[in-house]
Amino acid sequence: MAVGALTTNLTVQRAGYYRQAVEDADVYDRLYDQVLADPAVAGVTRDLLAGLPVPSDVVVDNLRIVAPASAVRGTVNTLSAQIADYLGGTCPTLALSVDLRPVFAAIAKLATIYLAGQVSGTPTFQAHDVAAVTQVLVAGLDQMAQGRRPAGIPTFDLTGRQADRITSVLVSRLPPADRVRMRGEIAGLLRQGRVSAALAAVGPLLFRGDEAALTDLRRRLAGDQLDLGTPLARAHPSAGTGVLRTLHRLGRAGTLALCVLPAILAVAGVLLAARRAGRRWADAVLLAGSGMLAGGGVALGLGLLLPTLVGDPTAAVIGANPTLPPRVGELLHDLQSSMISRVQGRSGQLAVAVLLAGCVAVAAGLLARYRPRLLARRRVAALVASAAVLVGGSWLAAPARFRGGEATNCNGSRVLCTLRYDQAAYAASHNAMSSSATNFVGATQDPDLVGQLDTGVRALLLDVHHWTTPTQVETFLAGLRPQEREALAPLARGAQSARPGLWLCHSVCQFGSVNVDVALRSIGDWLERNPSEVVTLVLQDSAPPDEVMAAFRRSGLARYLVTPPADPHGRWPTLGHLVATDRRLVVFAENADVPGSWYRRLFRYAADTPFDVPSANAFTCQVRRGPADASMLMVNHWVEGDDPGRTYADSVNRTPSLLAHVRRCEQAGRRPTFIAADFTTIGDLVPTIAALNAARVHSGH
């Protein structure tokens, strides 16, 4: 009973138990990678968010912004505390609900970004006096505060005094905390004659979401709190609360007993043996020890049978909701397994503790009951001490083997060390910098660069640019389809259009960007923490090679860089050699080529397949760029389509699709080296690559 009470206290009555179970089931990442990637869920999301001041496709593709991980984690923490309080007896009623206010705030944030860009598309007209300029700008602020584009923007040559006067009027509309901060920027823009830029800077700060759309959304969701079910209240609150409170106290008492009892029994045994106490005391200790052995054995058996005893509670939930998306059912099942496993593990630990305490008690009782000779006791003590030293030494020595004493492995496997760099296969992330974790609009990955490396990606495809100029933005937008242009133009035109240095962007830096120096330093830190991993960067370089190479030197990555063979068909070193020499970073450029250096053009050494595949059944192994006889091949395995990339990734990132593409290339005489995909955390990319590498080692490369 003590084991059961203590197990209950340390698991289901603790909020940390639920939080850890959620972490173990990888719920946070799977929510975006699997649940929200499900086409059925994506359709519901579109319908739910219809009417917001942001196109639905923009919202669906940026769900990590709309429902940020911090908000989801906060919700889990709140629900965990509510359940623990209920089961712990401190709260008589359990009413599970989710606070949607962070989600509404995030929607407003996305809408604000979207709204800021609309100003640049507003028609302008020539104003004739300062009063007219002021009146029109104030009206424009009112319209932007309601989530609408201004009707028009006046142009007028302002003097310094006139600019300061209008600045005072504009900033007076802002919250007090923003007035001092924004005054200098607004005055500077107006003095330069950039009236639209000044309006774009102030207007979004007044916008708090499309109140009509958000009100309708609140109505459909029944307010700011989303109820997850009927509140659980007991018919006899006092009795029910008392039972749980008693169980809670039993758990605490069990904790104290299990911590103190072994010590008490050990001391009692020593005293009994030393003083040759009577048999009555010895028999009592023997009886207590025997009871603990029996109870510990029963508890251990019940713990092992726990999954069978509990069954599958999620089956009832899934059965009662036949329209539940499959990914949601899988997530619930894995979460349930995680929770049962944690209870089983805790119960097993406590049962073993009881068994050990019983062994101590029995040994002490026997020692006192039969009064062995002093020499025999000394021999027993020496034997016990020797066993303790051996066991303790093995526990101390075991971790040492895992701290670096074992043979070096390469990219997670010892056997891969025998493969040359160009013989191995690598999981690659397409547009790796474009992640929802760094707030890219239209992201193609979820984790940031370090997160992708942590999940097993070993090749990052990155786009290096100078900051996108207004002319480049207009050129990019002109090449889009009308619907895409209408949705994306407001996001780009109102953003800052001049930043120094190099940036990782996808087409337009205003849609999302990561500073190159910051990104390279993070990769260097990861390489230092993971000394047996070989990483490749493939740069779609739109910046001069000297600037790119200087960035690598500044970041401290020079010591890791690998110089490719001068001959495109030359022999690459093995992964084991790269790890042993700590030269573990290979960098290719799509355009630049600097002979005699580490910065060489990819398509001297490799070819690639088409990257504009319109559907999942249209993958080919035709060579798009690079020599047909290249020793390495970049397989571009993603779909360019109208639906969100997650939906496609959930299909094409599965093992059958990946292997079918790989086999097609192998049959054409081309062995894939890099398999690049969108949303690499969705599907089976990393384990498929691991299986592919194992097969290559087994077949002798």
Which pLDDT belongs to residue 261? 53
- What's the confidence (pLDDT) of residue 420? 94
Among 72-76, 510-514, 684-688, which is the least confidently predicted range? Answer: 72-76
Q: Is residue 491 part of a domain?
A: no
Q: Region 142-169: what's the mean pLDDT?
A: 79
Instruction: Quickly list DSSP for 7-22.
Output: HHHHTTT-HHHHHHHH
- Report the distance separating Cα 612 and Cα 359, nearest Å: 69
Residue 282: helix, strand or coil by DSSP? helix
Q: pLDDT for 335-346, tens place per residue?
A: 788 888 888 788
pLDDT of residue 406: 31
**428 band by pLDDT with thresholds 50, 70 and 90:** very high
CA distances from 478 to 160, 180, 491, 614 (A): 37, 38, 15, 21
Residue pair 130/156 in contact by the 8 Å Cβ criterion = yes
Tell me the pLDDT band of 65, cut-offs 50, 70 and 90.
low
Q: Looking at residue 612, what DSSP letter applies?
A: -
Cα–Cα distance, 502 to 34 (Å, whole number): 34
The answer as to whether 297 is a domain residue is yes
Domain check: are 187 and 241 in the same one? no
pLDDT bin (cut points 50, 70, 90) of residue 85 is confident
148 with 61, same domain: the answer is no
Q: What is the pLDDT of residue 234?
A: 43
DSSP state of 410: B
Most confident of 128-132, 138-142, 241-245, 517-521: 517-521
Domain boundary residue, one of 406, 426, 451: 406
Q: Examine the domain organization and report whether 281 and 377 are in the same domain.
A: no
Helices 39-48 & 645-652 angle (0-180, nearest 10): 170
Max mean pLDDT among 14-18, 467-471, 485-489, 566-570 falls in 566-570
Instruction: Kindly state whether residues 445 and 561 are assigned to the same domain.
Output: yes
Nearest CA among 408, 441, 583 for reference residue 508:
441
Instruction: Supply 89's token pair.
Output: 């007896």
So what's the pLDDT on residue 397? 38
172 exposure class (CB count in 10 Å sphere: 0-12, 13-18, 19+): exposed
Least confident of 84-88, 263-267, 289-293: 263-267
| Range in 187-196, 245-254, 297-306, 536-545 the model is least confident about | 245-254
pLDDT-based confidence at 239, cuts 50/70/90? very low
Quote the pLDDT of residue 545.
Answer: 93
Determine the structural domain holding residue 633 and report its residue range: 415-466+501-698
Within-domain flag for 480:
no
Give the confidence band of 283 by pLDDT, cuts at 50, 70, 90: confident
Identify the pLDDT of residue 385.
46
Q: Which of 385, 406, 427 is the last residue of a domain?
A: 406
H or E stretch at 504: strand 503-505
Q: What would the pLDDT profile of 247-265 be if each residue is shown by its tens digit? A: 555 545 555 554 555 555 5
479: which DSSP letter? T
Lowest mean pLDDT among 54-68, 529-543, 612-626: 54-68
Q: Is residue 295 part of a domain?
A: yes
3-state class of 305 per DSSP?
Answer: coil
244: which 2 tokens?
A: 């749980």
Do 303 and 337 reside in the same domain of the chain? yes
Q: How far apart are CA 77 and CA 14, in angstroms?
A: 11
Q: Are 564 and 614 spatial neighbours (Cβ–Cβ below 8 Å)?
A: no
Stretch among 126-135, 425-434, 527-536, 690-699 having the lowest mean pLDDT:
126-135
- Identity of the residue numbered 85: D
What is the tens place of the pLDDT at every residue in 593-619? Answer: 999 899 999 999 999 999 888 888 889
For residue 204, the one-letter residue type is P
Residue 509 in contact with residue 467, Cβ under 8 Å? yes
472 assigned to some structural domain:
no
Interhelix angle for 160-171 vs 195-206, to 10°?
Answer: 10
Do 641 and 685 have their domain in common? yes
Specify the pLDDT at position 100.
62
Average of per-residue pLDDT across 309-333: 68
- Supply the pLDDT for residue 384: 46
SS (H, E, C) 264-280: HHHHHHHHHHHHCCCHH
- Is pLDDT at 497 greater than 80 in this prediction? no
Arithmetic mean of pLDDT, 633-655: 82
Q: CA–CA separation, 209 vs 206, rounded Å?
A: 9
Please tell me the pTM assigned to this model: 0.52
H or E, element range at 571: none
**Environment class of residue 384 by beta-carbon count within 10 Å: exposed (0-12), middle (13-18) or buried (19+)?**
exposed
Residue 16, pLDDT score: 81
The string of DSSP codes covering 625-661 is BS-TT-SEEEEE-----SS-HHHHHHHHTSHHHHHHH
Instruction: List the beta bridge partners of residue 153.
Output: 124
Q: Which residue has the higher pLDDT, 421 or 69?
A: 421
Q: Do residues 383 and 440 share a domain?
A: no
Please give the mean pLDDT across all residues of the chain: 75
Is residue 583 pLDDT above 90, yes or no? yes
Do residues 265 and 292 lie in contact, with contact meaning Cβ atoms separated by under 8 Å? no
pLDDT at 654 over 80: yes
Confidence category of residue 660, pLDDT binned at 50, 70, 90: very high
C-alpha of 366 from chain center? 56
pLDDT tens per residue, range 92-114:
666 666 666 666 666 655 555 55
Instruction: Kindly state whether residues 362 and 385 are assigned to the same domain.
Output: no
Distance CA 7, CA 9 (A): 5
pLDDT at 548 over 90: yes
C-alpha 163/C-alpha 415 separation (Å) is 70
Query: What's the residue count for the chain?
Result: 701
DSSP 232: E
Cβ burial, residue 284 (10 Å; 0-12/13-18/19+)? middle
Q: Which of 608, 596, 495 is nearest to 113 (CA)?
A: 495
Tell me: pLDDT of 387 over 60. no
Q: Are residues 637 and 687 in the same domain?
A: yes
Q: Is the same domain home to 234 and 324?
A: yes
Q: Is 141 exposed, middle or buried (0-12, 13-18, 19+ CB in 10 A)?
A: buried
One-character DSSP codes across 377-406? HHHHHHHHHHHHHHHHHHHHHHHHIIIIIS
Amino acid letter at 518?
A: V
Partnered with residue 225 across adjacent β-strands are 99
Residues 579, 594 within the same domain: yes
Compute the C-alpha angle 134/137/141, nearest 5°.
135
Q: State which amino acid sits at residue 563.
A: T
> Are residues 31 and 52 located together in one domain of the fold?
yes
Average pLDDT over residues 277-297: 71
User: pLDDT higher for 287 or 218?
Assistant: 287
Number of domains in the chain: 4
Q: Is residue 615 packed enough to be buried (19+ CB in 10 Å), middle (13-18) or exposed (0-12)?
A: exposed
Query: How big, in percent rounded to 5, are the helix, strand and coil portions of the chain?
Result: 60, 10, 30
Instruction: Identify whether 479 is part of a domain.
Output: no
What's the average model confidence in pLDDT over 633-651? 80
Question: Rounded to the nearest 5 degrees, what angle is found at the Cα of 611, between the Cα atoms of 656 and 421?
Answer: 70
Q: Residue 458's domain is classified under what CATH number?
A: 3.20.20.190
Is 137 inside a domain boundary?
yes
CA distance 270 to 267: 5
pLDDT category of residue 128 using cuts at 50, 70 and 90: confident
Which of 154, 182, 213 delimits the end of a domain?
Answer: 213
Average pLDDT over residues 115-129: 64
Q: Identify the weakest region by mean pLDDT among 163-177, 296-310, 538-552.
A: 296-310
221 in any annotated domain:
no
